[in-house]
């Protein structure tokens, strides 16, 4: 098994980064965890792991301590301090002394698993940490796109922006309707009522333009498609086609 990186992490699965220089153990972990609940990524050394963490998003990091070059203690410290990554980290190692465990937790680890261990135990710890550190989102969601009506914030693929005024109201209507489109009349009447029927078309286009510019600046894509002659709808790019 060699270092590898997936082009994207499936948001419907738990993204797990396994950092382990022992090929046999890494292969066993991939075989045991290789089901529909997980997307697995692998690094055989700490520096490769840091590169992956800087370019990919994971839900849980499983980190060996005895790595070639830079050891797991230092990698864990860099994950927390340099990358400012707060995702759960499980240290797995043959080092079993209390001093080693104390050092690991002081470096920022969330859990410590001593080798040898049952693979099922690691799986249980992964699932438990993910539940503990994953907040329950109570806003509106379309795929990876999230909108919080309380704060007017939009979150997408690790980035966020805030909306204001009429563009925020339009975005809420569109994400509630996703994947369907909303007609010009429905959008105009929902925002302004019947009094804006004569100028509603131009006014609506102006606010849609402002919303698109805000989203494009934040996410690199306006996320709104014109349904010609009818209205507008949210459209999410295929993650596999997006640049990393």
The token pair that represents 127 in the structure block: 């699932």
> What pTM did the predictor assign?
0.57
**Region of residue 61 (left: phi > 0; alpha: psi -120 to 50; beta: else):** beta
Kindly report, residue by residue over 149-191, the tens digit of the pLDDT: 989 999 998 889 999 999 999 999 999 999 999 999 999 989 8
Q: How far is Cα 45 from Cα 21, in angstroms, rounded to an integer?
A: 6
Looking at domain 14-133, its CATH class is: alpha beta
Closest by CA to 10, choosing from 35, 31, 43, is 35
Q: How far is Cα 169 from Cα 135, in angstroms, rounded to an integer?
A: 25
- CATH 1.10.10.10 in the chain, residue ranges: 140-241
Kindly report, residue by residue over 37-80, the tens digit of the pLDDT: 899 999 999 999 999 999 998 999 999 999 998 999 999 999 99
Looking at 1.10.10.10, 1.10.645.10, 3.40.50.280, 3.20.20.140, the CATH number of the domain 140-241 comes to 1.10.10.10
- CATH 3.40.50.2300 in the chain, residue ranges: 14-133
Q: If pLDDT is split at 50, 70 and 90, which confidence band does 136 have? A: low
Q: How far is Cα 217 from Cα 222, in angstroms, rounded to an integer?
A: 8
């Amino acid at each position: 098994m060699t270092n590898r990186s997936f082009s994207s992490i499936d948001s419907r699965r738990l993204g797990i980064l396994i950092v382990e220089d022992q090929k046999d153990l890494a292969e066993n972990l991939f075989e045991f965890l290789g089901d529909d609940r997980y997307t697995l990524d692998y690094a055989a050394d700490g520096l490769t792991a840091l590169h992956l963490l800087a370019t990919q998003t994971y839900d849980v990091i499983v980190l060996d301590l005895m790595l070639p070059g830079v050891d797991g203690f230092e990698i864990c410290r860099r994950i927390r301090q340099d990358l400012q990554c707060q995702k759960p980290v499980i240290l797995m190692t043959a080092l079993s002394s209390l001093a080693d465990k104390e050092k690991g937790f002081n470096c920022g680890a969330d859990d410590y698993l001593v080798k040898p261990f049952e693979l099922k135990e690691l799986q249980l710890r992964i699932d438990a940490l993910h539940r503990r550190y994953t907040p329950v989102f109570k806003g509106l969601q379309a795929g990876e796109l999230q909108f919080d009506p309380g704060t007017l914030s939009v979150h997408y693929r690790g980035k966020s922006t805030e909306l204001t005024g009429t563009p925020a109201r339009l975005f809420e209507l569109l994400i509630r309707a996703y994947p369907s489109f909303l007609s010009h009349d429905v959008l105009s009447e929902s925002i302004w009522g019947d009094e804006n029927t004569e100028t509603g078309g131009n006014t609506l286009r102006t606010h849609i333009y402002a919303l698109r510019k805000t989203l494009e600046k934040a996410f690199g894509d306006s996320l709104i498609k014109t349904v010609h002659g009818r209205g507008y709808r949210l459209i999410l790019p295929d993650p596999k086609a997006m640049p990393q």
